[in-house]
Amino acid sequence: MKEQKKKKIFPDDFQWGVATSAFQLEGSPYADWATWDPCLSKIPLVTDHYNLFREDLKLLKELGVNAYRFSLEWSRIQPRDYIWDEEAIEHYQEVIDILRSYHIEPMVTLHHFTHPRWFMERHPWHRTASIEKFLRYTEMMVSTLKGVKYWITFNEPYVILLGGYLEGVTPPGLRDVNRSLVALKNIFTCHGKAYDIIHQYVPDAQVSVAHNMSVFAPWKKWNPFDRVLKKTANYFYNHSIINAFKTGIFIVKFPFSRPVEIDVPIKDKLDFFGINYYTRIHLRFNPFKKMGVELRHMDIDGHGLTNLGWEIHPRGLEKVLRYASRLNLPLIITENGIASHDTEEKVKYMKKHVDVVEKCLRDGLDVKGYYYWTLIDNYEWLQGLDARFGLYRVDFATLERTPTYAATYYAYLIQSRSGM
């Protein structure tokens, strides 16, 4: 795909990155998820990135990115409650050192969906002790690891709660609204306190969560029930967290009932806002479905659906960026990508979304970075090994990595848009 010569819009310090998560690349024998999904028993180390990381980090150089978001696998670092694995900590320090030697800015995620098994068995998020355990881990990481300015405390806190506490499809596998609200308060409390701990050790740190934002639409525009659902979903998924960061109050609002307010100590505990954006979701009221809601992806604008059946909706990225700009903070797209076997599709997806970022910059939005999800094919939480989000294809039998055209194209896109 040809790039036309354009006026330079992306600033020199714009973060062109890719994002990954540890467990999805390297598994862990000590993680709750290792035994949660039977598919992992056949390939517990997934891409074996834990051993092949030096080679994989070279791919970042090949791409020409100047930033890399990755996560620490808590369960490798703290395989038992009172045991810290020095080698695992040194391993992640080496990752940071390599990145620094390549002039690539590391962005470290403390929590990306997985937990040590002991944590999930004894202190899951709805128990108060979870706070102390997570903060101990945070302090250990922040006081030990050197060379990290950008920190993400939690990847997609709402997804942790939806999967683990409302739908029961991820650990701890509960369907319990009351416990989900306790867990939410505990996770937000951890974020607020972790924010302070990080700043105590790294005064110029930049801290955020990576929040999953989606665009919602009524299944049928004329249907008032579908429209109410759209509003409710948007309020919950996109707005309530922004409001909580502005006010310190999380408001749960369901149609036709009184709102519930929960104090959460996160007011102003953000230096930028990390946004993971993938898709638009259509909603329909259906009394026979859980909570009366049916979700569907529809190919409305002709951009197609991904391998996972998600609608490709680049304009939605502008919507969520504009929405998030209410925070008056720099915005970083901490994830955006497509599951596809078709590398041309990947290229189109990437180009269309980067075009939207460019438009937003031209319109004056304070967007500081774009991280493509993801570097190499990996394990996808609910779909196993066939989602193919990678710029590099992984043969899971031989573990060989092969660049796809999307990798070449991303390198080209970075160069042509940034003048790097």
Number of residues that bind ligand BGC (CB under 6 A): 9
Q: Name which position in 28, 75, 212, 325 contacts ligand BGC (CB under 6 A).
A: 212
| Smallest distance from ligand BGC to CB 77, Å | 19
156 binds ligand BGC (CB under 6 A): yes
CB of 350 within 8 A of CB of 358?
no
| CB neighbour class for 83 (10 Å; exposed up to 12, middle 13-18, buried from 19) | exposed
Q: Which is nearer to ligand BGC, 206 or 374 (CB)?
A: 374
- As a whole number of angstroms, the distance between CA 11 and CA 22 comes to 30
CB of 387 within 8 A of CB of 374?
no
CB of 372 within 8 A of CB of 414?
no
Q: At 30, list the tokens.
A: 């000590």
- As a whole number of angstroms, the distance between CA 114 and CA 32 comes to 6
| Per-position DSSP letters for 206-260, written without gaps between them | EEEEEEEEEEEEESSTT-HHHHHHHHHHHIIIIIHHHHHHHHSEEEE--TTS--E
DSSP 324: H
73 binds ligand BGC (CB under 6 A): no
Q: Which is nearer to ligand BGC, 24 or 75 (CB)?
A: 24
| Smallest distance from ligand BGC to CB 335, Å | 6
**Per-residue interface string for the shown chain with ligand BGC, residues 257-296, x marking contact by CB under 6 A:** -------------------x--------------------
Q: Name which position in 26, 32, 335, 345 contacts ligand BGC (CB under 6 A).
A: 335
Strand partners, 19: 69, 373
Q: Which of residues 354-393 bind ligand BGC (CB under 6 A)?
A: 373, 380
**Per-residue interface string for the shown chain with ligand BGC, residues 222-251, x marking contact by CB under 6 A:** ------------------------------
Q: Which is nearer to ligand BGC, 202 or 275 (CB)?
A: 275
| Smallest distance from ligand BGC to CB 373, Å | 6
| Per-position DSSP letters for 176-215, written without gaps between them | -HHHHHHHHHHHHHHHHHHHHHHHHH-TT-EEEEEEEEEE
155 binds ligand BGC (CB under 6 A): yes
Q: Which is nearer to ligand BGC, 162 or 202 (CB)?
A: 162
Q: Which is nearer to ligand BGC, 266 or 339 (CB)?
A: 339
78 binds ligand BGC (CB under 6 A): no
- As a whole number of angstroms, the distance between CA 43 and CA 292 comes to 38
Q: Give contact residues for ligand BGC (rule: CB under 6 A).
A: 21, 24, 155-156, 212, 276, 335, 373, 380
